[in-house]
Amino acid sequence: MKSISEVVVRPARNVRGSVSLPGDKSISHRYAMLAGVAEGRSRLENYSTGADCASTLSCLRALGVVWERKDVANNLIEVQGSGPSLTAAGEPLNCGNSGSTIRMLSGIVAAQEFSTEMGGDESLSRRPMERVITPLTAMGAKIESQNGRPPLRISGARLKAIDYKMPVASAQVKTCLLFAGLLAEGETRIEEPLRTRDHGEVALRAFGAQVERKGNEVRIRGGQRLRGIEARVPGDLSSAAFFLCAAALFPNSQLTIPALLMNPTRARLLDILMQMGLRISVTQLEEAHGELAGALQVEGGRLKGATIAGADVAALIDEIPVLAAIAPYTATGFEVRDAGELRVKESDRIASIVTNLRAMGAEVEELEDGLKIPGGQKLHGAEIDSFGDHRIAMAFAVAALRAEGETTIHHADAAVISLPGFFGALESLSQR
Ligand code: S3P
C-alpha cells in the first residue's frame, strides 16, 4: 500500500473499556468465496470491514457473483450463489493487498472453463505464489506468473484430484487446494507439515460439504454441491491481539471483548498471553457453523516474556508482530524461532519489527528465522514506518502506549487492510 497518512500516538497510563470487533478476516474471505460457488442465498452478518475482504467481494462480483451490502450497521452481506460455474471476468481481478484473496480464489478459478488474470498492489506482487502454482498445475490448471509472483494468469481446466504433501505450513494454500479439490474429479488429500487454522475445513462443512480430517491430513471429494448459509462471523481474534497486548502493558488494565472468535486453531494467543501474565476469562461460549465464539474479560498483571517456536509459529503467525512490539517491556524478554515465513508477509515482518524497535531505542537481535528481544527495556517515542503493512502499523501504535514521548506512525492507514477504525478504538481505550 502507498500512502502519506500519519497518526500520532501518545503514551497512556492504562487501558480500560470494551471493544467489539468486526468479523474475522479469515472466516469472512472463506464464507464469501463459498457463498459465491454455493447454490441459493447466503446472509453473512458481521462480515469483516477490512479492505482485504472487500477485495474478495469485488473479485467475486467480477466473476459474476451477485451480492449486496444489506445493512451497513451490522456489516450484513447477502450473496446469491452462482453455483460451481462462474463467469469469465472482463478484466484482470484486483486482489489489492490480499494474499488470502489471490491464493484461495486461485483454487476456484483454476477449476473454471476460462482464463483469469489476478494481481494486486506492490506488496502483493512480491508474495510467493509457487506454493499454489505447483499443486494447481499438478491438478491440471495452466498458470503463468512473474517468476512465481503475481500477476498470475490462470487457465482453468477440469481439475483432477491430487494427493499432496504441502512443503510450507499455510492455511491459505490448504484452503486453496480444498476449494480446488471440491471442484475437481476424485478425492483430494492434503497433508500439512503443521496444523494451521482450520477455517477452510469448518466453512466447507458449514456449506454442506463433507471434509475428513485425520491427524495432519484432510480429504475432500470433488463434485459435492454447496448450499447457502446464514451466519454471523465471530469477532476477529488477530485484530483483538492488538487490544489484548495493549492491556498487557499495564498491570491495572481492564478490557472486555464480546463475541470473539475462539477457534482452538487460533486461540493459542490466549494461552501465551496468560503465560505472559494477562488474566483472561471467557464466558458465553457459543458455537455456530462449527466456529466457537466467546466473551473475553481481561485484566493486566506483571508482564513476563515468552519463546515462540515450532508449531506455535503457525498458530501465532499474525500475532507475532504485536507480541514482539511489546516484548521489550516484558520482564524476561521474547524469542521467536522457525518463523522465516514472516519475511514473506505483507512486508518482511522480521525486518520491519527490528527497524521500528531500534527506532524506539530497543535492543533487538535479528535472526534469519526470528528475533531475540531482551526484556526490562525502556523505549522512547519515535518515527515509525508501517512499511505499508497493517499489522506493523497497529503493533507499533500499541508499543507507543508505554514509550516515553510521542510516536508518529507513518503510512498508518495501512490498518484499513484488516481493521479500519483501529486508531480511534485504541485511543478511546487509552487512559491518560
Ligand atoms: C491466513 C493464513 C495465514 C495468515 C493470513 C491469513 C488464512 O497466511 O498469515 O493472515 O486466512 O488462511 P499463510 O497461509 O500464508 O500462513
How confident is the model over 146-165, as pLDDT tens digits?
Answer: 999 999 999 999 999 999 99
Sign of CA dihedral 380, 382, 388, 393: positive
d(CA 255, CA 279): 10
CA of 251 to the centre of ligand 1 (A): 32
d(CA 171, CA 104): 9
Task: Tell me, using a 6 A CB cutoff, whether residue 100 lines ligand 1.
Answer: yes
Which atom of ligand 1 approaches the CA of 317 most closely? 9
Task: Tell me, using a 6 A CB cutoff, whether residue 171 lines ligand 1.
Answer: yes
Query: Cell 491430487, residue?
Result: 162
d(CA 204, CA 289): 10
Q: Residue 4 burial (CB < 10 Å; 0-12/13-18/19+)?
A: exposed
d(CA 389, CA 386): 5
Among residues of the chain, what percentage have pLDDT more than 70? 99
Residues 205-240 have pLDDT tens digits of 999 999 999 999 999 999 999 999 999 999 999 999
Residues 234-279 have pLDDT tens digits of 999 999 999 999 999 999 999 999 999 999 999 999 999 999 999 9
Task: Tell me, using a 6 A CB cutoff, whether residue 26 lines ligand 1.
Answer: yes
CA of 414 to the centre of ligand 1 (A): 17
CB 288 within 8 A of CB 203: no
Supply the residues annotated as catalytic: 318
CA of 402 to the centre of ligand 1 (A): 29
Task: Tell me, using a 6 A CB cutoff, whether residue 172 lines ligand 1.
Answer: yes
The number of angstroms, rounded, from the C-alpha of 275 to the middle of its chain's C-alpha atoms is: 23
- Reply yes or no on whether the pLDDT at 4 is more than 80: no
Helix axes 99-109, 171-182, angle to 10 degrees: 20
d(CA 298, CA 216): 33
- One-letter amino acid at 112 equals Q
Residues 284-325 have pLDDT tens digits of 999 999 999 999 999 999 999 999 999 999 999 999 999 999
Q: What angle do CA 289, 112, 127 make, to 5 degrees?
A: 75
Q: 235-249 in b/e burial notation, b at 16+ Cβ within 10 A?
A: bbbbbbbbbbbbbbb
pTM above 0.75, yes or no: yes
| Listed residue (303, 241, 300) closest to 276, CA to CA | 303
d(CA 305, CA 412): 27
* Residue to mutate, 24, 25, 26, ligand 1, most ligand atoms under 8 Å from C-beta: 26
Name every residue whose Cβ is closer than 8 Å to that of residue 318 and which is 6 or more positions away in sequence.
238, 241, 391
CB 20 within 8 A of CB 232: no
Query: Which pLDDT score is estimated for 32?
Result: 99
d(CA 244, CA 393): 16
| Listed residue (70, 109, 55, 119) closest to 87, CA to CA | 109
- Reply yes or no on whether the pLDDT at 123 is more than 80: yes
Query: Which pLDDT score is estimated for 2?
Result: 44
Q: Report CA-CA distances (Å) from 206 to 102, 195, 238, 292.
A: 22, 20, 22, 13
* Residue to mutate, 100, 176, 179, 239, ligand 1, most ligand atoms under 8 Å from C-beta: 100
- One-letter amino acid at 25 equals K
- Reply yes or no on whether the pLDDT at 3 is more than 60: no
CB 14 within 8 A of CB 429: no
Q: What is the mean pLDDT of the chain?
A: 97
| Listed residue (4, 3, 15, 10) closest to 301, CA to CA | 15
Residues 13-61 have pLDDT tens digits of 999 999 999 999 999 999 999 999 999 999 999 999 999 999 999 999 9
CB 38 within 8 A of CB 231: no
Nearest CA to ligand 1 atom 6: 26
Among residues of the chain, what percentage have pLDDT more than 90? 99
CA of 182 to the centre of ligand 1 (A): 20
d(CA 103, CA 216): 20
Query: Which pLDDT score is estimated for 342?
Result: 98
CB 187 within 8 A of CB 161: yes
Q: Cell numbers at residue 78, please?
A: 447477502
Task: Tell me, using a 6 A CB cutoff, whether residue 97 lines ligand 1.
Answer: no
Helix axes 25-37, 171-182, angle to 10 degrees: 10
Task: Tell me, using a 6 A CB cutoff, whether residue 318 lines ligand 1.
Answer: yes
Q: Residue 398 burial (CB < 10 Å; 0-12/13-18/19+)?
A: buried
